[in-house]
Structure 1
Amino acid sequence: MTEKEVAELRRRYKPEKNSISHIRGCCVNENREIVSQFDQSLGLMSEDDSAMILSTLRKTLSGGIGKNLADIVFSTQQVVDSQEHRLLMALRDSNLTDEAAVQALFQKVIDTVEMEGNYLILLARDAYDVAFRSGDGEQQADAGSETFSYILCSVCPVKMTKPALSYRANENRFGHLPIDWVVSAPELGFLFPAFNDRSTDLYGALYYSRDTADSHPGFVDAIFHVDPLMPAQAQRETFQSILADSLSDDCSLEVVQGVQGRLRGLIEAHKESKAEEPLVVDQHVVKKMLSACGVAEGQTETFEARYAAEFGDGRALSPKNLVDTAQTEIKTPDVTIRVSPDREDLVETRVIDGKKYILIRADEGVEVNGVNIHIS
């Protein structure tokens, strides 16, 4: 799915825009025991309560594609005949009224989610009359040709509030605020089926994980039965390791800056082009970047082979997962230097009298613990 397609669905999570009739829920304690379940009508809730539930669900469609949101692809065999796909279809087609399917999903979540404390499983089913979009991007609501029916599942931690002092305006006095349980933003969740090309795609789903360092592989396997997803943070660490090992002694500051600068350039150009398709690169694209930075052919081939071994041959990754677009960090065991990417020219490495140095040009505005100093 593209960012625009995700945003199109996310905009529906307001009381006046969605067609969600009811919410299914399951509260689970720290011992993985079901504390309570509910089937609550949105129409019977107050507008504030409805808006807060929808806001919580909407966060399952937040974050970046390839970072917090990952496309799940089912095989043809899974779609034709598999337990996991039949369960998801039963939930969607029954509008969450198939009790056996709802309980089966709840149990799969309980069996596989590792979460400290209590949590809440939320299930919603929406039907979206997809508006026709003309060539200039304008939508025509009265020219819809498809209804996109889908389910959204959110798994949210439930935390106890801390004791606090509260001012009670209606009594004009201060008082103790009672301790209560509060539902936090979703930790993980999914949308099924996928909304690819603004249409129903039964061969796909969209998976959400708030933590870019943990993709919850047990949950992914239980719900979708596909290969584990490599978290965004692990992608960056693996890429950095491959780069360093492949280039060995030739992995210089200039080469690393060159590759990362080119990746940032692709990201910026993609952003300016307003292209809908997600930006991805593979080992062949990075190999060309390495060659442009003067890396020898033997080392670029080593990089290609290591990339294929770690990620898979031709596996496309988001450049945003491979490089920090906000800063360049230069680190030694004792010193860490952070530089804006557009001022990397201020930093260089040099060997002086046989000793290795990181040099930073400092013309003015130098402070030590908040004190302006002068360099004589």
Structure 2
Amino acid sequence: MNKKEALEIRKLFNPNDCRVDKICACYVDGQKNKLLQTNDSFMTVPEEEVYKYTDIFKKTLSGRIGKNMLNLEFPLAEEAPGGHQHDLLALRDSGLDNQEMIDAFFDKIISTYLYPDHYLILLINGAYDVPGQSSDKDEMFDASEYVYNYLMCCICPVTLNKPGLCYQETTNTFVHKIQDWMVQMPETGFLFPAFNDRNTDIHSLLYYSKNAEDLHPEITKDLLGCPDPVSAGEQKQTFDTIIEETFSNHCDFEVAKTVHEQINALLEGKKDDPEPTPLDKNEIKKFLADCGADSDQLEHFEKTYTVENGEDSKLLASNIAANRRFEVKSDDVKISVAASRTDLIETRVIDGIEYILIPVTNNVEVNGIRIRTSNPASVGAAPVAEDEEIAPFDDSSLPELEGVDDTVFDL
């Protein structure tokens, strides 16, 4: 699914016109005991609670495709009787009217999910009359082509709120507020089947994880039967290793800067595309050539890529880019600038030592203190007449600070 398709399904959870038929819930404590289990028509849910539930459903379709929301495909074996996809499809087709199947699904989550505290499992199903689209992509609500039937599962932590004093309007007094168990936004969840190309795709699902670096492999692999997804952070680390190994001793500041600029240029050109931009082995090789890799370096890349990452592995451009900040770090120094202003940083060798240099410009602050600089044109200096002579700055009265330079950072 792409971001437009995810948004289209997300709109189904409008509290004023929610396309949910049934809702099943199972409340579990830290010892994996079922404390409560329900199975109700969503039409019977009180109006004030509908808003809370729809917030949870919408959250399970939030984040970024490829980071928090992952498209997972089932291996063919999982579609045979007894497979995970086969069981999910049967559960969806039951319309959540088969309590035995619901119990088995909840039991499997409880035995699989690694969570030490209370949590709530929500399982819903619904139907969506998918509107047709005109040639200019406008929806035609009176021309529905088919019905998309779905399941959604949300797993939400339940935590104790803090006790304290609260104002009670009926008595116009402050009273003691007891601790209550409060349902939080989902930690993980999934939508099945996927809504690919605005159509039902029973061979895949859309998986959600609040923490993009903790994808709960016990859910993706053991509960759903899908191969372990690679997190956004792991993809970034893999790509960084590729750059370091490909350029080897020639991986200097200019190489890293060029890689940063090339990735962000690629993403800028794709910013209006609803689909994420995957890079396979050949596309990464071309990217490295564009960043200055020579034939020997590209040959080394060819030899190591498949061994380290697999022949068919792909990396999403949005996951390997640092599109918000350009950051330089050493043991003692950290420099961070806007991603689009890499031109502010340069390297220079002074007395045989390589330095990172940043020009001092307007509005410089040190620990919140706006400082003056030795350049009168920098920080709002008064204009100078053409014939006015400016005396050189006399710093003889200032104390010497050993090893300090306003504009040069030794890395």
TM-score bucket of the superposed structures, by smaller chain:
over 0.9
Deviations 1:132-163 (A, max 9, x none): 01111111111111100010001111111012
Runs of 4+ in structure 1 deviating by more than 4 angstroms, as ranges, are none
Aligned to 1:148: 148
Q: Which shifted more, 142-151 or 177-186?
A: 177-186
SS in 2 for 1:142: coil
Aligned to 1:168: 168
Contact 2:15 2:54 in 1 (8 A): yes
Q: How does 1:110-121 map to 2 (within 5 A)?
A: 110-121=110-121
Contact 2:67 2:212 in 1 (8 A): yes
Q: Does 1:106 align with 2:117?
A: no
Q: Which shifted more, 208-217 or 307-316?
A: 307-316
Q: Which shifted more, 131-140 or 164-173?
A: 164-173
- How many pairs align? 374
In structure 2, relative to structure 1, the CA distance for the partners of 1:347 and 1:54 (3 Å cut) is: same
Aligned to 1:374: 372
Deviations 1:236-275 (A, max 9, x none): 122212222322221112111212212112212111xx33
Structure 1 residue 304: deviation in Å? 4.1
Structure 1 residue 289: deviation in Å? 2.5
Contact 1:151 1:191 in 2 (8 A): yes
Q: Does 1:196 align with 2:196?
A: yes
Structure 1 residue 332: deviation in Å? 0.6
SS in 1 for 2:315: coil
Cα separation, 1, equivalents of 2:303 and 2:239: 12
Contact 1:90 1:98 in 2 (8 A): no
Contact 1:25 1:120 in 2 (8 A): yes
Q: How does 1:197-216 map to 2 (within 5 A)?
A: 197-216=197-216
Q: How does 1:47-86 map to 2 (within 5 A)?
A: 47-86=47-86
Q: TM-score, normalised by structure 1?
A: 0.94
Q: Does 1:17 align with 2:11?
A: no
- Same amino acid, percent of matched pairs: 37
Q: Note the residue ranges of structure 1 that are not aligned, 5 or more in a row.
A: none
Contact 1:284 1:304 in 2 (8 A): no
Structure 1 residue 62: deviation in Å? 0.8
SS in 1 for 2:292: coil
Cα separation, 1, equivalents of 2:291 and 2:141: 50
Q: Which of 283, 286, 295 is the aligned partner of 2:284? A: 286
Write the letter of the residue equivalent to 2:63. Answer: G
Aligned to 2:221: 221
Aligned to 1:5: 5
Cα separation, 2, equivalents of 1:306 and 1:247: 13
Deviations 1:186-214 (A, max 9, x none): 11111111111111111111111111111
Q: Note the residue ranges of structure 2 that are not aligned, 5 or more in a row.
A: 375-411
Q: Which shifted more, 178-187 or 245-254?
A: 245-254
Write the letter of the residue equivalent to 2:155. Answer: V
Aligned to 1:130: 130
The alignment yields a C-alpha RMSD, in angstroms, of: 1.7
SS in 2 for 1:11: helix
Deviations 1:5-34 (A, max 9, x none): 110000010233333222111111112222
Aligned to 1:356: 354
Deviations 1:91-120 (A, max 9, x none): 101111222221222122222222231111
Structure 1 residue 225: deviation in Å? 1.7
Tell me which protein shows more helix as a share of its residues: 1
Contact 2:25 2:120 in 1 (8 A): yes
SS in 1 for 2:18: coil
